[in-house]
Chains A and B, each alone.
With several copies, the nearest count.
Chain A
Amino acid sequence: MANLTLVQAINLALIQEMEKDDRVILLGEDVGNNGGVFRVTEGLQKRFGANRVVDTPLAESGIIGTSIGLAMAGLRPVPEIQFEGFLGPAYDQLCSHAARMRTRTRGAFTVPMTVRVPVGGGIHAPELHSDSPEAFYTHQPGLKVVMPSGPYDAKGLLISALRDPDPVIFFEPKRIYRAIREEVPEDEYTIPIGKARVVCEGTDLTVVSWGASVIQCMQAIEACGRSVELIDLRTIYPMDMETVEASVSKTGRCVIVHEAPRTCGVGSEVATQIMEKCFLHLEAPVQRVTGFDTIMPYYKLELEYLPDAARIQRGIEDCLAY
């Protein structure tokens, strides 16, 4: 067991699965010789060869489109999109093809691929390097969407994603790529896709979040000094509403936290399902503490945009006070 960063945990998961299964191949911009701009794939090309860790042309639709072909032929491609802002050019191949292939061919062709994508703000990066587009891919049927909040989960979830028979968008919160370390077993383990984690138990209010925001939520909960239950969704689709429902039925109050803009964000789905499932338990309207309905600002203002512990705390307190 080693004390690893998120980057190292993902690197380890990739190594272990690549050793077990030669259908797994990595491709993307700078993933080979350079080991990725975040060094997530560092050392992998040396270890597995330039056939299995492939530097591609600078073309995201090409990366996803050829990955679809690779997957249709039975391989398990793991394309990397360098930043979430560059998923845009790949959107069509993801939503018009990857998501639909099993349905439209009645299972004759499938697309078992894991798209790795660094996500989110807070690293002082240029524009389009700090967005949180998970809602787009959650709304698209046929895709699974995963976002770990720490190294341990990242390894277990990634292994599940790599083995999943369907396309998974695996978002890696870049803000915590190196900011936290956790004990990560060397041994193989999986965390099932579609299961949330109760980070800490509480009785007064439930906070639901995912990705890097989970850290801010923990700070806010600590600061507000009340008994708050924190749920890390881990998988955004399929969503583990069972865990959320159990919690909110108990606490009667809920705050959802995410970096993406509020309107039609994943928070609205979680909130609506809570209303549907816990209507009679709700003691206050479910609250959303999220990014604003604006473009993610350049970095001088990014901390004004991202929900920080203070904003979350205020949301929790306003909800508790209702």
Chain B
Amino acid sequence: MPITNALTTTIERVSILDEHGNFDEKLGKGLIPDADLLKLYETMVTCRMMDEVAFKLQRSGRMGTYPQNMGQEANSLGAAYALNNDDWLVTCYRENCGLMWRGVPIDSILLHWMGDERGNAMPRPHHATPIAVPIGTQMLHATGLAWAAKYRGEKRISCTFFGDGATSEGDFHEACNFAANLDIPVIFFCQNNFWAISVPGRIQCSAPTVAQRGIAYGMPCLQVDGNDLFAVVYGMRKAIEHARTTGKPYFIEGVTYRLGDHTTADDARRYRDQAEVDAWKARDPITRLRTYMTKKGIWSDAKDAALREAAEASCMATIERCEQVEPPVRGDVFNYTFADLPADLVTQRETGHTHSLGQDPSQLPSASNAR
């Protein structure tokens, strides 16, 4: 037989609670207990509120460049919910909701965007890594973290998040390839929001799905409606089961949309149509859940109003806490460069100068402020 089949493969798409309120009982029933659902919804609303508050703060000069998560909350939240709390959560910057669920103080995230490294000092028990700024680089760390767990015989896995744009970077490829070929249990979760700043998704991946990127590595791949918390949880459970039992990676594409600008430094009206945004607003993961819970009788407009009020108050309190954090001291420019500072760096820190004639430590410009 001169032409034979070398491979046939398929990718499935999961949707449970769709934008019209249809709910698939077969897949969805019992997936998320009502009590959890309420807490998950609460987290989403708080996260959304934080976006709004942070945006306003940035506009009034009290916050640096800030990337809103608006519209994408269900992806990281569903993942954090399905994972164990000691699985590694290796995120980019649109996973605030998942981090909040994990218990990472939102203060950390805000401090980071306020230009303060202390925001990245993620408390160890959360098993969450610092916010990743260079696109596409953090997935390799996720692979390394899960590899370390495997080496030590721990059951811990990694779940790493990244955008559609990030899948264009070479590091994305290398992370998937290491995990697939060295048998490392990593869940690669792409939040496909169809834009990388102003560049449309087809420039990053003109294939019918982003999920099929996983086929290159022989990974099982799945596409889920990323604005459907149920679908995300369903997909994550499959992925987690696979990763834990086989020790191998899994690829999930969450189809979603960022409803806001890329960051506060961006103006998305320059490059995309309002009609597109409106269409996606109708698929908002929060609205969808609210309608579902209301129909189910476990939620009401009054409860929602109360929740929003509480969320706003809590966000404002967080902001105020962050703004009251003592400013970092000049010495911190130096203190974390190495565990032990070389003498030269000590001198630079003590003098505040780099020129040699200025490096007489007895002439400290502000000795008190140095540490």
The reply to whether B357 and A58 form a contact with Cβ atoms under 8 Å apart is: no
C-alpha gap A36/B142 in the complex (Å): 26
The reply to whether B328 and A300 form a contact with Cβ atoms under 8 Å apart is: yes
Q: Identify which of A57, A255, A276, A290 gathers the most chain B CB atoms within 10 Å of its CB.
A: A57
**Taking the complex as formed, is A194 at the interface, i.e. its CB lies under 8 A from any CB of chain B?**
yes
The reply to whether B145 and A69 form a contact with Cβ atoms under 8 Å apart is: yes
Residue of A nearest to B172 (CB): A59
Q: Which of B38-46, B147-155, B244-252, B307-315 contacts A (4 or more CB under 8 A)?
A: B147-155
**Taking the complex as formed, is B368 at the interface, i.e. its CB lies under 8 A from any CB of chain A?**
no
Residue of B nearest to A273 (CB): B356
Residue of B nearest to A305 (CB): B333
Q: Which of A60-68, A150-158, A173-181, A215-223 contacts B (4 or more CB under 8 A)?
A: A60-68
Q: Closest Cβ of chain A: how far from B334's Cβ, in Å?
A: 5
C-alpha gap A29/B356 in the complex (Å): 42
B145-181: which residues lie under 8 A (CB-CB) from chain A?
Answer: 145-149, 151, 165-166, 168-171, 174-175, 177-178, 181
Q: A62-B174, A66-B147, A73-B149 are in contact. Are A30 and B265 (CB under 8 A)?
A: no
Residues of A within 8 A of B14 (CB): none
C-alpha gap A75/B148 in the complex (Å): 7
C-alpha gap A86/B133 in the complex (Å): 10
Residues of A within 8 A of B170 (CB): 59, 61-62, 89
The reply to whether B354 and A108 form a contact with Cβ atoms under 8 Å apart is: no
Q: Closest Cβ of chain B: how far from A28's Cβ, in Å?
A: 10
B129-144: which residues lie under 8 A (CB-CB) from chain A?
Answer: 129-130, 133-137, 140-144
The reply to whether A92 and B134 form a contact with Cβ atoms under 8 Å apart is: yes
Q: Closest Cβ of chain A: how far from B115's Cβ, in Å?
A: 3
The reply to whether A65 and B121 form a contact with Cβ atoms under 8 Å apart is: no
Q: Closest Cβ of chain B: how far from A99's Cβ, in Å?
A: 9
The reply to whether A25 and B151 form a contact with Cβ atoms under 8 Å apart is: yes
The reply to whether A57 and B134 form a contact with Cβ atoms under 8 Å apart is: no
C-alpha gap A67/B148 in the complex (Å): 9
**Contact string against A for B residues 108-128, beta-carbon threshold 8 Å, 1 for contact and 0 otherwise:** 000011111110111110000
Residues of B within 8 A of A319 (CB): 355, 357
Residue of B nearest to A60 (CB): B169
The reply to whether A85 and B134 form a contact with Cβ atoms under 8 Å apart is: yes
A19-72: which residues lie under 8 A (CB-CB) from chain B?
Answer: 25, 29-30, 32-35, 37, 51, 54-62, 65-72
Interface residue tally on A, bucketed by range: 35 or more
The reply to whether A69 and B122 form a contact with Cβ atoms under 8 Å apart is: no
The reply to whether A62 and B140 form a contact with Cβ atoms under 8 Å apart is: yes
The reply to whether A293 and B140 form a contact with Cβ atoms under 8 Å apart is: no
Residues of A within 8 A of B166 (CB): 58
Q: Identify which of A29, A56, A65, A291 gathers the most chain B CB atoms within 10 Å of its CB.
A: A65
The reply to whether B336 and A71 form a contact with Cβ atoms under 8 Å apart is: no
The reply to whether B342 and A102 form a contact with Cβ atoms under 8 Å apart is: no
The reply to whether A108 and B124 form a contact with Cβ atoms under 8 Å apart is: yes
Top 10 A-B pairs ranked by shortest CB distance?
A: A69-B144, A65-B140, A299-B115, A73-B148, A34-B198, A238-B342, A62-B174, A276-B356, A57-B168, A66-B144
A residues adjacent to B (C-beta < 8 A): 25, 29-30, 32-35, 37, 51, 54-62, 65-75, 77, 85-86, 88-89, 92-93, 96-97, 102-110, 124-129, 141-142, 144, 165-166, 194, 237-239, 241-242, 255, 262-263, 273, 276-277, 284-285, 287-295, 297-302, 304-305, 307, 311, 314-315, 318-319, 321-322
| Given A105-B130, A238-B345, 18 additional A-B pairs, CB 8 A | A30-B198, A30-B199, A34-B198, A34-B271, A57-B182, A59-B168, A62-B174, A65-B143, A73-B148, A92-B137, A129-B133, A166-B339, A292-B345, A292-B354, A304-B333, A314-B353, A314-B358, A319-B357
